[in-house]
Amino acid sequence: MISVTCAIIRSEENEVLVVQRGETTDHPLKWEFPGGKLLHGETEEECIIREVEEELSMEIVICGQLPEVEYDYGQKQIKLIPFICDTLDELPFLSEHLAYKWVPAAELLSADFSEADAFVAKSYLERIKAKKIPINPKPNQI
């Protein structure tokens, strides 16, 4: 089982950042939440902050966490650890992905996510509907 963190990065406009995987990856052209593998000796929080900085050159603030998702892709099993994050950065610099887009939270499920990320998107939307997450975060609420 591979432990992987991911970030649901929110904007002030209630949009969420998603990134598209490359054509030669194990989930070609699928959309996902940015993140990556947990390194030995690293905390989950350190991992997501490092991964977002490496992949997108963005600074984030962790605001919460969603339940972990365990998924068996056949060739590998992952434990996806999702964090809800805010940022004041608007434009990521892509170093590993083909594209990015800011998606209104209500339209998240229309993205062609890899399977584990689709579960994270559903969990995030359920949390919003249950009013456990502020819909429109403001920087001073961080």
Helices in 16-97 by DSSP H: which ranges?
44-56
Any idea which fold 2-135 has? Nucleoside Triphosphate Pyrophosphohydrolase (3.90.79)
Give the start-to-end residue ranges of the domains of the chain.
Answer: 2-135
Which pLDDT does position 134 carry in this prediction? 53
Q: How far apart are CA 114 and CA 33, in angstroms?
A: 10
Across 82-108, average pLDDT: 91
CB 36 within 8 A of CB 28: no
Which pLDDT does position 133 carry in this prediction? 62
Across 89-108, average pLDDT: 90
High-pLDDT (> 70) share of the chain, %: 92
Which pLDDT does position 94 carry in this prediction? 86
Across 26-45, average pLDDT: 94
- What is the pTM (predicted TM-score) of this model? 0.88
The secondary structure of residue 87, as a DSSP letter, is -
Residues 6+ apart with CB under 8 A from 37: 2, 3, 4, 47
Helices in 2-140 by DSSP H: which ranges?
44-56, 115-129
Q: Which of 46, 34, 36 is nearest to 93 (CA)?
A: 34
> Between the CA of residue 97 and those of 10, 16, 22, 54, 87, what are the distances in Å?
19, 16, 6, 12, 19
Which pLDDT does position 90 carry in this prediction? 77
pLDDT band at 83 (very low <50, low <70, confident <90, very high): very high
